[in-house]
Amino acid sequence: MSKYDFDLDLNVRNSLSLIIDRIKPNSKVLEFGPANGRMTKYLQQKLGCSVYAVELDKEAAKDAEKYCKEIIVGNIEDYEWMERYQNVKFDYIVFADVLEHLYNPQKVLEQAKQLLHQQGSILFSIPNIAHNAIIMDLLEDRFTYHAVGLLDDTHIRFFTKTSLDELVEKIGMFKTYEAAVFVSPEHTEFHKSYEDLSPEISTLLKQRVLGEAYQYVYELKFQKQRLETDLQLHREFKLFYDDGSGFSENQVVVAEFENGKAVFDLSEMDKEIKCIRIDPLEKAVRFQLESLLIDGVKYRDQIHHN
């Protein structure tokens, strides 16, 4: 079984859910490195796409091929696909966590774009080597490879946001969409904690806007367009409610904090609520609450900050 044989989860924000969200139904797609075909299956069965693929792992390719119109089993950098697919023009060319495994990702992208429709897109996701968890490890004189993740032991090339933007410029395409998947150091494979650092270093790392960006997702096109950016840190806020028995972990509603707003739905609550408490994060945090609306009514005088 391939170590990249994971279930496809479109209910949470991850690199595959962000990529799939950019692909229109009934498109012609070239997918590099489909592994066992978790995304390939969705593209073919749910979106009605015609999927062509290139996969290195023979066993994984056997699983993926049933969702493909055609699949090449081999090394991407042997470029067999350039000859085989030279008469096919694709709406989308996808590299989901693939480019970092290549010796020359720039050359691969330059070749791949020749197979793209003039209005088509290259979509890719790639890990961020400048994640705070890696910086924490470096501060301890560590650079340890793992089976999967930011320092996957088969990664050959590493990218920061800046070097990734430079790569896009070098291949002569334009970035039209950029997004990030955020993971705190505690929840990475490194299991690092800000609490283990000095206050000065901890504060410095927490202030890095993209310090917890685990992966970047880009869409590239031939023509320059307005850049759609989704690089905000998406956090879950918790609202605890007291029905007279006090606050407890069993009486909580969760909402995603996005674009400066969190919306909690208490419409189906069958209890009379005496008091509510909003927890932005399970760690020290500073933020300013601009307004609190309950059923469209703005409250300010009864807000207490801790």
Q: In degrees, to the nearest 5, what angle opens at C-alpha 183 toward C-alphas 204 and 176?
A: 95
Q: Inform me whether the pLDDT recorded for 280 exceeds 60.
A: yes
- Residue 4: the pLDDT is 67
Q: Inform me whether the pLDDT recorded for 150 exceeds 90.
A: yes
Helix (H, G, I), strand (E, B) or coil at 166: helix
Q: Inform me whether the pLDDT recorded for 204 exceeds 90.
A: yes
**Which residue has better confidence, 246 or 161?**
161
Q: pLDDT digits over 12-63, tens only?
A: 889 999 999 999 999 999 999 999 999 999 999 999 999 999 999 999 999 9
Helix (H, G, I), strand (E, B) or coil at 273: coil
Nearest to 53 by CA among 41, 64, 38, 42: 64
Mean pLDDT computed over 194-204:
95
Q: Inform me whether the pLDDT recorded for 118 exceeds 70.
A: yes
Angle between helices 161-170 and 105-112 (to 10 degrees): 40
Q: Is residue 287 exposed (0-12), middle (13-18) or buried (19+ Cβ within 10 Å)?
A: exposed
Q: Is residue 111 exposed (0-12), middle (13-18) or buried (19+ Cβ within 10 Å)?
A: middle
Name the helix (H) or strand (E) containing 280: none
Looking at this protein, which amino acid is placed at residue 31? E
Tokens of 164: 């990734």
- Residue 42: the pLDDT is 97
Tokens of 207: 């202030």
- Residue 243: the pLDDT is 84
- Residue 11: the pLDDT is 79
